Amino acid sequence: MRENNRSLTQGIVQDLGQAIVCGTYSSDKPFPIEAELCTQFGVSRSVLREAVKMLTSKGLLSARPRQGTWVQPEENWNLLDPSVMRWLLDRKFSIDLLLEFTQVRLAIEPQAAEFAALSSNEELIANIDRAIDRMDAAARGDDDPLSSDIAFHVAVLEASGNRFFIQLRDLIDTALRISIRFTNQHKGVPLADVDAHRKVATAIREGDVATAREAMKAMLTEALDLITQAKADRAKSEAVEV
Contact 95, 116 (CB under 8 A): no
The model's pLDDT over 3-42, given as tens digits with 9 standing for 90+, comes to 567 788 999 999 999 999 988 998 887 789 889 999 999 9
Quick one: which H or E segment has residue 168?
Answer: none
* Structural domains in the chain, sorted by start: 2-76 (1.10.10.10), 93-241 (1.20.120.530)
The model's pLDDT over 120-172, given as tens digits with 9 standing for 90+, comes to 799 999 999 999 999 999 999 999 988 999 999 999 999 999 999 998 888 88
Question: What pTM was estimated for this model as a whole?
Answer: 0.81
Quick one: which H or E segment has residue 30?
Answer: none
Neighbours of 167 (CB within 10 A): 11
Q: What is the DSSP pairing of strand 68-71 with strand 61-64?
A: antiparallel
Neighbours of 229 (CB within 10 A): 11
CA distance 159 to 114: 10
Q: Does the CA dihedral 225-91-175-140 come out positive or negative? A: negative
